[in-house]
Structure 1
Amino acid sequence: MGTVFLVHDQSRDPSAHSPFALKVVEKSSLHTKLDADRRARWEVSVLTRLRNSSHPFLPSLLGSFETQELLCWAIPFCPGGDLNALRYRQSDHVFSPPVIRFYLAEIVCALEHLHSLGIVYRDLKPENILIQQSGHVTLTDFDLSRSLSPSSVKTLMMSSSSEPETDPPRKHRRNISRVIPMMASEKRKGLKKAKSARVSPISRRRQSFANGERSNSFVGTEEYVSPEVIRGDGHEFAVDWWALGVLSYEMLYGTTPFRGKNRKETFWKVLMKPPEFIGKPSPLKDLIGKLLEKEPTRRLGYRKGACEIKEHEFFRGLRWDLLTEVLRPPFLPSRDDRDLTEELKKGGIDIRDYFQKLKMPPSPSWSPSMEERRRNASLTEF
């Protein structure tokens, strides 16, 4: 959706000891045709709400501004990278159950806070879970999130005594072979992770971010997308608990549970295939299985929200109120940021020039036929 710059305030922080992340969306970019401008403004509005109700595992908006060409907003810099990169740094590319327990607990708390505000996240995946300097996590990228009505929040988080709903009608089922265009994700150097293609947030009906108890938008990341999103039945907070199950599985086994050779096969597995578990049963595997329940009304977390998940055996004995007090998380980013500081102090760039250079065509190697081609070709062909 945009470009993230690592920046510092030259007037207040000339030594660049406290850098922050500046996310920039170019208004004239081709991406605007894919609703990037609308999504960017929505993300800023979500971050503004989070600033007014701060949470240790969610980002705070440091500020935002807009010019004729650019829309920008700043959030704290997380030097530990994302959870996907951290997993790949492990010797066998997986986390141990105690480490999974720590990270899942903080993610559950973050999702619980979002849901209490009536926000369904809809894009939980390792790349969107960043590691702060303290070693604790923070979620990022809220452009695909959605606001649900207060009545929906109350129904989902308070009605623990009600019976689960009956299965949704199948007449609205969508053919998964009808592919919706994807937005290409940036390549990560040194990572061999399977494609994690984001699905464009194209609505099946007119989009509204403020009203309605269910969303019918087809959004998410294909290996993390829930069955109800694929079916087009409408979805609620339970999509985040499904994604938490996929994330837990990937942290345990190093791969997502429903990955196929292509999108169609992946979606078929999401709809029809149960997750495969290796080895003896364990509380973690039981938690994953209950989160990956195909029918959302039977999924763990549907009836009582995060409270239901916190009560699971996998988290037995965990002091939820003391998570922020943990001084030695599983991974602590290095505090030796001299190289980073020196790079920032070398001199800044003009962000407008940066985007202008991106638009410039690469200089082709000259050949006798090039002049003739230049006479007849449009600029866009280069």
Structure 2
Amino acid sequence: MEIRRMMPPFGSLGHPEKKRGQGERVGPHCFELLTVLGKGAYGKVFQVRKVQGPQTGKIFAMKVLKKAKIVCNAKDTAHTRAEREILEKVRHPFIVDLLYAFQTGGKLYLILECLSGGELFMQLEKEGIFMEDTACFYLGEITMALGHLHSNGIIYRDLKPENIMLCRQGHIKLTDFGLSKESIHDGSITHTFCGTIEYMAPEILTRSGHNRAVDWWSLGALMHDMLTGSPPFTAENRKKTIDKILKCKVNLPPYLTIDARDLIKKLLKKNQAQRIGSGKGDAADIQKHPFFRHISWEELLNKTVEPPYKPQLHSEEDTSQFDTWFTRQTPVDSPDDTTLSSSAELAFAGFSFVAPSVLESLKEGFSFEPRSRHVRRHNSSPRTPVSPLKFSPAGPFKSSLDGEPDLFSPTSPPAAPPPVPLENGPASQPIKTPSRNKKKKIHRR
């Protein structure tokens, strides 16, 4: 099923329009599969090259989801729709771009910019901790991205190093909007239990109702992780970690500057009303903090500030920053002759999309499929394995609460894959920490 530009919004009632104006016809045949970048319970993500129409020869990431698996659960469908709508709505230098969306009888396709610089997680793994000027750069770009989401009524809810990607120039891009929530404006709250435990705000854990302030708590946890080697509250199991988040004070190492200590403490206020960024100023209040006093926000937004790290890439197709467990696999988009009922097909009406920017030059960027992650260990806080669940690339495993699903992504180890061959700031010298193990996002439905 090929699609045309100017389709109705995803989730609209009725079938997609057959034609409204002229636009590019696009489908799976327009893309050549190059490399597997990741796999999930509902599909795969590939690096692809466009072989027809505008932007022929350009490299993208293609996320492929199986309709039959998604449509089995209404909440899976709803979160696939939410991710798709958010990706269409949001355009920002530090958020991944959606270029195309289309569907066949059995599959959904999202074509996103291919961010070849890999995860910020990998840089933390390599460095142990960041110098404060390095952390300031990344935190500044992330703050602007979150502020843009909030201005559109969207809360992100899963900020962590694994969801922050680097473009080939070294700038960040937020990816993976499966846990995001729309229509959260001033005064609005939601009660979903969601996120990754170590970065999860207290008000989510207590289910007392939360808003965009949860993203600023996660920013504080991320800042702590960047500057010390671990999130602020970790323990040997999930329950003890939650207890620490709810009851313990944050302990900061003495080598942090006064400004860094002050910002972390203000971001990690357990009372969300007292947390910096929780007021009407939102991101602007954080940007005014002395920790960012050397940042020119206009230059940062325009990407004229030199990133502290530039990925070493040999070509546009270079996938050296991705896990070889995936990149060594043969890229195959298996045939799918599944036929859904008319009512099931209605769930995907209006999915098709062609970005207005498709006929213009694209910024360098990125997209990837979240993958199963091993237990992550921080300093002296080893993880206790948690029974793994399958992850959903479009939206997490969840259970109903007040009409909205629970979305939960604590630490949990997947089955280990077969071994494969591997490939100055105000702070003191970096302290190397033990190897970080990636968190796997698990979702309870």
TM-score with structure 2 length normalisation?
Answer: 0.60
SS of equivalent residue, structure 2 residue 244: helix
Counterpart position of 1:313: 290
Q: Is the 8 A contact 1:7 1:22 kept in 2?
A: yes
Q: Does 1:232 align with 2:222?
A: no
Q: Does 1:71 align with 2:111?
A: no
Deviation (angstroms), 1:71: 1.4
How many angstroms apart in 1 are the aligned matches of 2:129 and 2:274? 28
Q: Is the 8 A contact 1:287 1:312 kept in 2?
A: yes
Counterpart position of 2:274: 298
Deviation (angstroms), 1:34: 8.6
Specify which of 13, 17, 23 is matched with residue 63 of structure 2.
23
Counterpart position of 1:87: 124
Unaligned runs of 5+ in 2: 1-39, 339-445
How many angstroms apart in 2 are the aligned matches of 1:12 and 1:215? 43
Bigger Cα Rg: 1
Equivalent residues in 2 for 1:157-176, closer than 5 Å: none
- Counterpart amino acid of 2:49? H
- Counterpart amino acid of 1:40? T
Deviation (angstroms), 1:66: 1.6
> Aligned in 2, Cα 1:241/1:39: closer, same or farther, shift over 3 Å?
same
Q: Is the 8 A contact 1:130 1:138 kept in 2?
A: yes
Q: Is the 8 A contact 1:25 1:40 kept in 2?
A: no
Specify which of 28, 32, 40 is matched with residue 80 of structure 2.
40
Specify which of 163, 167, 178 is matched with residue 128 of structure 1.
163
Q: Does 1:119 align with 2:151?
A: no
> Aligned in 2, Cα 1:318/1:35: closer, same or farther, shift over 3 Å?
same
How many angstroms apart in 2 are the aligned matches of 1:80 and 1:27? 30
> Aligned in 2, Cα 1:33/1:287: closer, same or farther, shift over 3 Å?
same
SS of equivalent residue, structure 1 residue 65: strand
> Aligned in 2, Cα 1:225/1:327: closer, same or farther, shift over 3 Å?
closer
Q: Does 1:332 align with 2:313?
A: no
> Aligned in 2, Cα 1:355/1:263: closer, same or farther, shift over 3 Å?
farther
Q: What fraction of aligned residue pairs are identical, expressed as a percent?
A: 36
Deviation (angstroms), 1:139: 0.3
SS of equivalent residue, structure 2 residue 195: strand
Counterpart position of 2:51: 10
Answer with 1-10 or 229-238: which moved more: 1-10
- Counterpart amino acid of 1:73? L
SS of equivalent residue, structure 1 residue 219: coil
- Structure with larger RCO (C-alpha < 8 A, sep 6+): 2
How many angstroms apart in 1 are the aligned matches of 2:103 and 2:133? 44
- Counterpart amino acid of 2:160? K
Q: Is the 8 A contact 1:148 1:214 kept in 2?
A: no
> Aligned in 2, Cα 1:115/1:355: closer, same or farther, shift over 3 Å?
farther
Answer with 278-287 or 263-272: which moved more: 278-287
Specify which of 132, 137, 140 is matched with residue 102 of structure 1.
137
Deviation (angstroms), 1:331: 1.1
- Counterpart amino acid of 2:139? L
- Counterpart amino acid of 1:286? D
Q: Deviations over 1:63-87 (max 9, x none)?
A: 0012232112111011110110111
Deviation (angstroms), 1:328: 2.6
Q: Deviations over 1:12-60 (max 9, x none)?
A: 59995x311111222233895494332222111001101xxx2111122
How many angstroms apart in 2 are the aligned matches of 1:26 and 1:112? 33
How many angstroms apart in 2 are the aligned matches of 1:36 and 1:81? 27
How many angstroms apart in 2 are the aligned matches of 1:114 and 1:338? 29
How many angstroms apart in 1 are the aligned matches of 2:291 and 2:60? 36
Answer with 332-341 or 261-270: which moved more: 332-341
The number of aligned residues is: 288
How many angstroms apart in 1 are the aligned matches of 2:100 and 2:70? 25
Q: Is the 8 A contact 1:121 1:144 kept in 2?
A: yes
Q: Does 1:221 align with 2:196?
A: yes
Q: Is the 8 A contact 2:190 2:211 kept in 1?
A: yes
Deviation (angstroms), 1:353: 4.7
Unaligned runs of 5+ in 1: 156-212, 357-382
SS of equivalent residue, structure 1 residue 28: helix
How many angstroms apart in 2 are the aligned matches of 1:215 and 1:317? 36
Question: Alpha carbon RMSD of aligned pairs, Å?
Answer: 2.9
Q: Is the 8 A contact 2:139 2:223 kept in 1?
A: yes
- Counterpart amino acid of 1:124? L
Specify which of 334, 356, 375 is matched with residue 352 of structure 1.
334
Q: Indicate the structure with greater helix content.
A: 1
SS of equivalent residue, structure 1 residue 331: coil
Equivalent residues in 2 for 1:171-320, closer than 5 Å: 213-280=188-255, 281-303=257-279, 304-320=281-297
